[in-house]
């Protein structure tokens, strides 16, 4: 029986056990009874044997007595006398032989026979035979009335021993037998017969006697004892069984059932009841205590599980660095809000908060400082938000806040508080020399059905892109016009292309546009301009630069561009005598790895004039670091150009603080030469001033000969524009033409980039 595999009912098993015990008991009783019967039979047999022996003895005694009596009688003289003179025999027979008291009492008949065995005389009343055989033998025969009698014939002899005749005697057997004293045999039960007609010889008589034995006291006593013991054992067993059953019921079955009911109700009030219970059986008490312990452990495990669940929920929904909610929490909250939309009948504002130039902070001061900056920003913003608002960290330095029941004004007010809170933080304590600012893009939805959170985030993202532009408010609300511009920021095709070419460092193609030295009349150097190829299509910077900026990939892009130029140089695409100008982002110029790449490029293109064009200088936070790096670049052989001067991205302020060699006038400044007098004068004065200050001035956007003439007249040192040469890929050096001749795009066979395609995108203006 495998008790482990299946539970079993104790009652069932006990019932089966009790039934089996009873059956065994009955079997035992039957066996004992059988045994007693066998003993009884043996005893009976033994007593019967004793009785038979006793009977044989009695018969022996009886027959010897009878024979002796017969012999005595045969000695009587008067009997011999009768044989000699039988004339008086009838008289003698009647008055002497048959006279009571003459013969023993047991003799019921007697006759005398002559020597030939013939009865003396004829008597009707005789019970003995009239003629004896030659040798008469004693026989037990049946008296006509059924009694068994012994007929014995004793010879009568004279003094010399001659036989004179016979005396026949008939003895009553049963009375004689019954008179004997027996120990074992019951004399009343003595019966003889059936007796055959020829009679029974006396020595065989015992075989024809039936008798019973006297009841044996010992046997009776022993049987009584045995039966009594058996009965007593049965009674004791029944009493013990009943007692055990009652005890089992009282001590085990009922308490177990009670415990079972209680355990079933453990979750409710069962535990209290279990604590108050007391069981008379130690084992059940042990089970009860174990159950109490188990229940306590279970409760403790429950608590710990709850705690773990809460902790897990917290881990799953909180940002480990700042402790604010995370992206998953935002998604879930938003799902809840949109499910219970009616609870927010008012507007909901989605604030996207971003730390300006956080990457530079991280790169410059290390991740630990960056983390602390984020923590402080989170704390400051959290305090600035209303108590009902939640702050989420979406990743990096990007935070979001969902403000329910909040219209434009309210959102603006909260956003301002956030900006002030971060502005008020003393980041100098962390060793930061530049201030840390927040930019906030806001998208407001409702009243009415709320859009998916990703849509709001995308809208806030576009607003944020604008908030980050130079000379813009750091808080920007999303409007539909942004959507038109921002579409490309989220064009998955362009985003994928950018990600792909940055990840695999491929797909970037460099086109080179000549910058013509006006005094020498030849190409001073070529500006390397990046394009991204998607199959047959070539993406222009106006298409992909916003994506790069929006995703903060400027430094990576710088590295990829430098790598592409280096590859062109190695493949002999760059004419040996022509210089190269590399555009580097404001962020890249502060990066060590970008500087190392520039060093490696300088090593590859030794001997050529090298220029580094830096634009969007407003993005440069750490001027001192940028200056150190610029000086390092100078050491590598680069001349440094301030790109797009006058566009709003780069201004005079930077000329005063940063070590530039070249100033490239933005196309808008060049166009002023064709404008009003005052505008023309501003550009001309600026050129003169910068030339006097020692800068090499370059005019961008020369689209026709007229503009070229005005540029020349204004005193520009160099000029760049479609009129002088379009940006185009360079062929291998062996295919190349003279690098010093001015390329006229009108006749250029490489004019695959149309004028329209080269129309300078006003991307830096953010519109």
Q: Find out whether 129 and 186 touch, Cβ atoms under 8 Å.
A: no
759 contacts ligand C2E (rule: CB under 6 A): yes
Could you tell me the smallest distance in angstroms from the CB atom of residue 764 to ligand C2E? Answer: 7
Task: Identify the CA nearest to 667 among candidates 631, 637, 700.
Answer: 700
Assign 524 to helix, strand or coil. Answer: strand
**Beta-carbon contacts of residue 669 (< 8 Å; ≥ 6 apart):** 645, 646, 647, 683, 686, 699
Judged by CB under 6 A, the chain residues 282 through 301 that form the site for ligand C2E are: none
CA distance 131 to 389: 156
* Region of 101-109, 212-220, 481-489, 695-703 interacting with Mg ion (CB under 5 A): 695-703
Nearer to ligand C2E, 401 or 620 (CB): 620
Nearer to ligand C2E, 154 or 650 (CB): 650
Could you tell me the smallest distance in angstroms from the CB atom of residue 587 to ligand C2E? Answer: 9
Nearer to ligand C2E, 176 or 589 (CB): 589
Nearer to ligand C2E, 92 or 645 (CB): 645
Q: Find out whether 54 and 87 touch, Cβ atoms under 8 Å.
A: no
Work out the number of other CB atoms within 10 angstroms of the CB of residue 455: 13
573 interacts with, out of ligand C2E, Mg ion, none, CB within 5 to 8 A per kind: none
Give the Å distances, CA to CA, from 257 to 9, 249, 289, 294, 567: 12, 10, 16, 19, 88
Nearer to Mg ion, 187 or 541 (CB): 541
554 contacts Mg ion (rule: CB under 5 A): no
Q: Looking at 644, 673, 690, 716, which residue binds ligand C2E (CB under 6 A)?
A: 644
750 contacts ligand C2E (rule: CB under 6 A): no
CA distance 508 to 502: 9
Give the Å distances, CA to CA, from 436 to 261, 356, 373, 424, 718: 68, 7, 8, 10, 39
111 contacts ligand C2E (rule: CB under 6 A): no
Could you tell me the smallest distance in angstroms from the CB atom of residue 582 to ligand C2E? Answer: 7
720 interacts with, out of Mg ion, ligand C2E, none, CB within 5 to 8 A per kind: ligand C2E
Nearer to Mg ion, 425 or 643 (CB): 643
Position closest to Mg ion via CB: 613
- How is residue 386 written in tokens? 């209303």
Could you tell me the smallest distance in angstroms from the CB atom of residue 597 to ligand C2E? Answer: 12
643 contacts Mg ion (rule: CB under 5 A): yes
Could you tell me the smallest distance in angstroms from the CB atom of residue 743 to ligand C2E? Answer: 12
Could you tell me the smallest distance in angstroms from the CB atom of residue 367 to ligand C2E? Answer: 26
Could you tell me the smallest distance in angstroms from the CB atom of residue 591 to ligand C2E? Answer: 12
556 contacts ligand C2E (rule: CB under 6 A): no
SS3 per residue for 179-207: HCCCCCEEEEEEEECCCCCCCECHHHHHH
Binding mask 667-706 for ligand C2E (x = CB under 6 A): x--------------------------------xxxx---
722 interacts with, out of Mg ion, ligand C2E, none, CB within 5 to 8 A per kind: ligand C2E
545 interacts with, out of ligand C2E, Mg ion, none, CB within 5 to 8 A per kind: ligand C2E
CA distance 643 to 664: 5
* Region of 77-85, 151-159, 580-588, 749-757 interacting with Mg ion (CB under 5 A): 580-588
542 contacts ligand C2E (rule: CB under 6 A): yes
568 contacts Mg ion (rule: CB under 5 A): no
* Region of 15-23, 329-337, 356-364, 719-727 interacting with ligand C2E (CB under 6 A): 719-727
* Region of 15-23, 285-293, 322-330, 575-583 interacting with Mg ion (CB under 5 A): 575-583
Q: Find out whether 590 and 622 touch, Cβ atoms under 8 Å.
A: yes
Helix (H), strand (E) at residue 112 = strand 107-114
* Region of 34-42, 169-177, 535-543, 628-636 interacting with ligand C2E (CB under 6 A): 535-543
758 contacts ligand C2E (rule: CB under 6 A): yes
CA distance 270 to 262: 5
Q: Find out whether 166 and 117 touch, Cβ atoms under 8 Å.
A: yes
Judged by CB under 6 A, the chain residues 502 through 531 that form the site for ligand C2E are: 513, 528-530
Phi, psi for 445 (deg, rounded to 5): -125, 160
CA distance 634 to 659: 9
* Region of 80-88, 354-362, 606-614, 720-728 interacting with Mg ion (CB under 5 A): 606-614
Q: Find out whether 735 and 704 touch, Cβ atoms under 8 Å.
A: no
Nearer to ligand C2E, 461 or 549 (CB): 549
Give the Å distances, CA to CA, from 575 to 146, 636, 734, 738: 170, 20, 9, 8
Assign 156 to helix, strand or coil. Answer: strand
Q: Find out whether 727 and 528 touch, Cβ atoms under 8 Å.
A: no
CA distance 588 to 554: 7
Judged by CB under 6 A, the chain residues 562 through 621 that form the site for ligand C2E are: 583-585, 613, 615
- How is residue 705 written in tokens? 């000969």
DSSP secondary structure, 477-521, as one string: E--HHHHHHHGGGG-HHHHHHHHHHHHHT-SEEEEEEEEEETTTT
Could you tell me the smallest distance in angstroms from the CB atom of residue 665 to Mg ion? Answer: 9
Task: Identify the CA nearest to 419 among candidates 441, 434, 404.
Answer: 441
463 interacts with, out of Mg ion, ligand C2E, none, CB within 5 to 8 A per kind: none
**Residues engaged in binding ligand C2E (CB under 6 A):** 513, 528-530, 540-542, 545, 558, 561, 583-585, 613, 615, 643-644, 667, 700-703, 720-722, 727, 758-760
What is the binding site for Mg ion (CB under 5 A)? 583, 613, 643-644, 700
């Amino acid at each position: 029986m495998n008790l482990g595999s299946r539970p079993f009912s104790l009652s069932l098993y006990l019932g089966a056990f009790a039934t089996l015990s009873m059956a065994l008991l009955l079997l035992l009783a039957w066996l004992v009874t059988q045994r007693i019967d066998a003993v009884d039979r043996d005893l009976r047999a033994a007593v019967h044997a004793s009785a038979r022996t006793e009977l044989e003895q009695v018969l022996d005694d009886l027959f010897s007595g009878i024979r002796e009596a017969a012999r005595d009688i045969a000695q009587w003289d008067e009997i011999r006398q009768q044989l000699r003179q039988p004339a008086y025999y009838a008289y003698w027979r009647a008055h002497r032989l048959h006279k009571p008291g003459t013969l023993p009492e047991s003799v019921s008949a007697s006759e005398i026979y002559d020597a030939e065995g013939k009865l003396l005389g004829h008597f009707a009343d005789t019970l003995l035979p009239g003629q004896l055989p030659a040798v008469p033998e004693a026989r037990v025969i049946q008296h006509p009335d059924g009694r068994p009698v012994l007929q014995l014939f004793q010879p009568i002899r004279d003094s010399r021993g001659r036989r004179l005749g016979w005396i026949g005697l008939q003895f009553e057997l049963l009375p004689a037998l019954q008179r004997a004293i027996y120990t074992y045999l019951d004399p009343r039960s003595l019966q003889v017969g059936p007796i055959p007609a020829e009679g029974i010889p006396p020595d065989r008589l015992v075989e024809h006697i039936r008798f019973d034995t006297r009841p044996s006291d010992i046997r009776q006593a022993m049987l009584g004892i045995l039966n009594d013991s058996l009965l007593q054992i049965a009674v004791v067993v029944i009493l013990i069984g009943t007692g055990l059953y009652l005890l089992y019921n009282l001590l085990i079955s009922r308490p177990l059932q009670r415990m079972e009911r209680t355990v079933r109700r453990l979750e409710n009030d069962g535990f209290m009841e279990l604590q108050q219970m007391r069981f008379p059986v130690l084992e059940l008490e042990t089970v009860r205590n174990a159950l109490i312990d188990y229940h306590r452990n279970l409760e403790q495990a429950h608590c710990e599980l709850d705690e773990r669940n809460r902790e897990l929920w917290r881990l799953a929904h909180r940002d480990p660095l700042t402790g604010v909610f995370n992206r998953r929490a935002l998604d879930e909250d938003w799902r809840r809000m949109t499910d219970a939309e009616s609870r927010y009948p008012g507007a909901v504002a989605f604030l996207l908060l971003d730390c300006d130039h956080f990457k530079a902070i991280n790169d410059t001061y290390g991740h630990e400082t960056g983390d602390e900056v984020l923590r402080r920003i989170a704390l400051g913003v959290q305090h600035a938000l209303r108590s009902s608002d939640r702050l989420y960290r979406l990743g990096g330095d990007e935070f979001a806040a969902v403000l329910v029941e909040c219209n434009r004004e309210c959102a603006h007010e909260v956003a301002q508080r956030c900006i002030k809170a971060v502005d008020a933080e003393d980041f100098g304590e962390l060793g930061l020399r530049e201030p840390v600012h927040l930019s906030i893009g806001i998208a407001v939805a409702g009243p009415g059905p709320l859009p998916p959170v990703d849509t709001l985030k995308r809208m806030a993202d576009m607003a944020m892109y604008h908030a980050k532009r130079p000379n813009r408010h750091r808080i920007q609300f999303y409007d539909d016009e942004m959507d038109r511009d921002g579409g490309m920021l989220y064009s998955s095709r362009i985003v994928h292309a950018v990600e792909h070419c940055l990840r695999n460092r491929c797909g970037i193609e460099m086109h080179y546009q000549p910058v013509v030295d006006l005094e020498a009349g030849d190409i001073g150097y070529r500006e390397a301009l990046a394009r991204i190829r998607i199959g047959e299509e070539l993406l222009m910077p106006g298409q992909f630069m916003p994506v790069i900026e929006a995703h903060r990939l400027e430094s990576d892009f710088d590295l990829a561009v430098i790598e592409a130029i280096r590859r062109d140089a190695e493949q002999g695409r760059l004419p040996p005598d022509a210089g190269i100008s590399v555009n580097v982002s404001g962020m890249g110029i502060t990066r060590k790895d970008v500087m190392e790449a520039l060093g490696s490029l300088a090593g590859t293109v030794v001997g050529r004039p090298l220029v580094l064009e830096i634009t969007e200088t407003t993005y440069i936070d750490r001027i001192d670091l940028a200056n150190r790096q610029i000086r390092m670049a100078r050491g590598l052989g680069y001349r440094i150009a301030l790109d797009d001067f006058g566009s709003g991205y780069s201004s005079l302020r930077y000329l005063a603080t940063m070590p530039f060699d070249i100033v490239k006038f933005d196309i808008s400044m060049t166009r002023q030469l064709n404008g009003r007098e005052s505008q023309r004068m501003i550009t001309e004065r600026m050129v003169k001033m910068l030339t006097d200050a020692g800068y090499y001035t370059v005019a961008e956007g020369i689209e026709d000969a007229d503009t070229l003439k005005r540029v020349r007249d204004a005193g520009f040192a160099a000029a760049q524009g479609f009129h002088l040469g379009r940006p185009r890929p360079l062929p291998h050096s062996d295919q190349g033409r003279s690098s010093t001749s001015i390329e006229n795009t009108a006749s250029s066979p490489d004019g695959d980039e149309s004028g329209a395609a080269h129309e300078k995108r006003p991307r830096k203006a953010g519109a």
